[in-house]
Amino acid sequence: MLIEEYLTLLSVETSIFGRQMLYRYLRAGLSDPDSNNMEQRLDMLMSDPKQLDELHQICSSLRNSEMEIAGLLFEEERPIEPRWASYIWQLPFVFIGLIIGAFWFPQTLLLTGLLMYLLISMQIRYSDLLQVWSDKINSLQMLLRTISLLGKREHPLLARLIGKHLQAGKLNRRLTRSPILNMLPGSRDYSDWFMLGNIKHYFKTIAIVFEHREFLRQCYLDIANIEADIALARHLLQTPVWCRVVRGPDSELMLEQALHPLLSDAVPLSIELRHKGAFISGQNGIGKSTLLRTIGLNQLAGRAFGFCYARRASLSMLPIFSSMQSEDSLLTKESLYMAELRRARELLAVTEEEHGAIFIIDEIFRGTNHLESVSAASAVLDSLSEKGMVIVSSHNLILGALLQHRLTPFCVKLSEDNGQRILSPGVLETTNGIALLTSQGFDPLISTKASRVFEWLDAYLAHPSNCGDVLNPS
């Protein structure tokens, strides 16, 4: 459903903090109260574009940080500080003692050399760790600085920051290394190499971060939520077609004139489902996969943000699972059919864990012969439809009849009036796979041979009128 591309569209000029929160919304969705609160926040931001731009500008420094710190704040355990770290402060006195002692005892130069070797070894050992930690501290300081700036502004959206900006400023200063080290050229390097100043600062800031981790967590969530709201408000102001989603029952779905936000030339399509899923058919290249992605992405956006890209929409808040574009894999030595079987097992496992779900499936079981493909697909789709809403596209048209008790058939085709794509009830009547042989430059003789084989197969495998009772004997 092009989720990564959609997230990129939403998070234009948004830092990693806001992107992570948007991704969290997309995965988890929002409850009714949270959705209502988000609607109010977005309306507030969109009503004053000038102030929205000002808030966006204040958050701009966050975009300089690409180091992920959610793990540090919510998951990681505090590193164990070695015993020797508490004695680093004594190094300057040891150096002075050795230098003075060298005037009377030249052999102390050997001890000085040994100490230098140990210091260099420590720098090499901690080099990568210090760089990663430095990037994390940089991200934390950008976060705290933004809290300090936003906390001084009066805006209803920033009410959660009241009182936090002062503590954020103090904590930011505590995480900063002494400015004295920048007064003389090279003084910071000498401090690091001869006094382990960077390693001392590392253990010091670890203690500070974990001491104030609860406060930093709140700062992270505050900024991530604020930036996500700003990104969504800016996105909607630039989006010509969108609507608020009405939350409907789990067994229903309605999209009127729905579009895919990533397709500039998309043709709006409407679909309404009640107590059944949908079987989508259509000629090659007509846009069946695009329709599935449009339905899925609008459902996902409605569940996550309370809006979608249509004139009108009523959607359930069920989670969405998809199976699209399975391929062979040389790396895992997994054939197309094996990949499809694995994904089908995963979808069936969902029905055992979730109380309901929407399944978006494109061309199920392409990797085996026609008879086995139809047999396996009908069985899997029938079982999935017992526990959730299935929306599937397939060139195996017989599936429409086999699953008519579960899925409402729709056909994507071109309108006779204006040539635009439309979605109409029923199953595809005229296929175009063989016709495309000629239009794509194949020898006419090949098309003639293919047509003869098709006519023979079509007569031999004529669809029986009572096939709908195969899976639904009652």
DSSP state of 157: G
- Record the tokens describing residue 348, joined without a space: 């069936």
Q: Tell me: the pLDDT tens digits for 59-69?
A: 998 988 878 99
- Evaluate if residue 221 carries a pLDDT over 80: yes
What kind and span of H or E run contains 115? helix 108-150
Q: Name which residue leads in pLDDT, 179 or 255.
A: 255
Give the best-scoring range by mean pLDDT among 92-101, 158-167, 208-217, 318-327.
Answer: 208-217
CATH of domain 3-237: 1.10.1420
Contacts of 424 (CB under 8 A, 6+ apart): 410, 411, 413
CB count within 10 Å of CB 57 equals 10
Cβ distance 313 to 38 under 8 Å?
Answer: no
- For the chain, the 3-state helix, strand and coil shares in percent, each to the nearest 5, are 60, 10, 30
3-class secondary structure, 457: helix
- 50-54, 244-248, 266-270, 417-421: segment of lowest average pLDDT: 417-421
What is the structure's pLDDT at 65?
84
- Whole-number mean pLDDT of the chain? 87
Q: Which residue from 421, 458, 401 is spatially nearest to 279, judged by alpha carbons? A: 401
**What local confidence, expressed as pLDDT, does residue 330 receive?**
46
pLDDT tier for residue 132 given thresholds of 50, 70 and 90 = very high
Contact 393, 291 (CB under 8 A): yes
* Distance in angstroms (rounded) separating the CA atoms of residues 250 and 245: 14
Q: Which DSSP category does 62 fall into? A: G
**Quick check: 320 and 292 in contact, CB under 8 A?**
no
438 pLDDT higher than 90? no
* Whether domain 243-432 has CATH 3.40.50.300: yes
Which DSSP helix (H) or strand (E) runs through 458? Answer: helix 444-460
Helix (H) or strand (E) holding 249: none
Q: Is the pLDDT of residue 284 over 90?
A: no
Number of helices (H), then strands (E), in the chain: 17, 12
Q: Angle at which helices 3-10 and 288-305 pack, to 10 degrees?
A: 50
Q: What are 334-386's pLDDT values in tens digits?
A: 788 888 888 989 999 998 887 889 999 998 888 888 888 889 999 999 999 99
Domains of the chain: which residue ranges?
3-237, 243-432
Lowest mean pLDDT among 77-81, 110-114, 264-268: 110-114
pLDDT at 466 over 80: no
424 in Cβ contact with 404 (< 8 Å): no
- Mind listing the pLDDT tens digit for each residue in 397-419? 889 999 999 999 999 988 777 77
Give mean pLDDT, residues 292-309. Answer: 94
Q: Which of 311, 322, 321, 304 is nearest to 247 (CA)?
A: 304
Provide the pLDDT for residue 144. Answer: 95
- Of 326 and 459, more confident: 459
Looking at per-residue pLDDT, the higher value among 459 and 256 belongs to: 256
The pLDDT of residue 328: 45
Question: Which residue blocks in 357-434 are alpha helix, DSSP H?
Answer: 370-387, 398-402
Condensed to tens digits (0 to 9), the pLDDT of residues 114-124 reads: 777 787 888 88
pLDDT of residue 162: 85
Average pLDDT estimate for 215-239:
96
According to the model, what pLDDT value does residue 467 have?
65
Contact 316, 359 (CB under 8 A): no
- Higher pLDDT among residues 201 and 88, named by residue: 201
Return d(Cα 151, Cα 139) in angstroms, integer. Answer: 18
Higher pLDDT, residue 315 or 177 = 315
pLDDT band for position 327 (50/70/90)? low
Instruction: Say how far residue 454 (Cα) sits from the centre of its chain.
Output: 44
**DSSP for 277-334, written as a single string:** EEEEEE-TTSSHHHHHHHHHHHHHHHHHHSEESSSEEEE----EEEE-----BTTTTB
Report which of residues 193 and 24 the model is more confident about. 24
State the average pLDDT over residues 140-157: 92
Q: Contact 38/229 with Cβ under 8 angstroms?
A: yes
Q: What residues contact residue 184 under an 8 Å CB cut-off, 6+ apart? A: none
At 329 the pLDDT is 46
pLDDT band at 333 (very low <50, low <70, confident <90, very high): low
Q: For position 265, what pLDDT does the model report?
A: 77
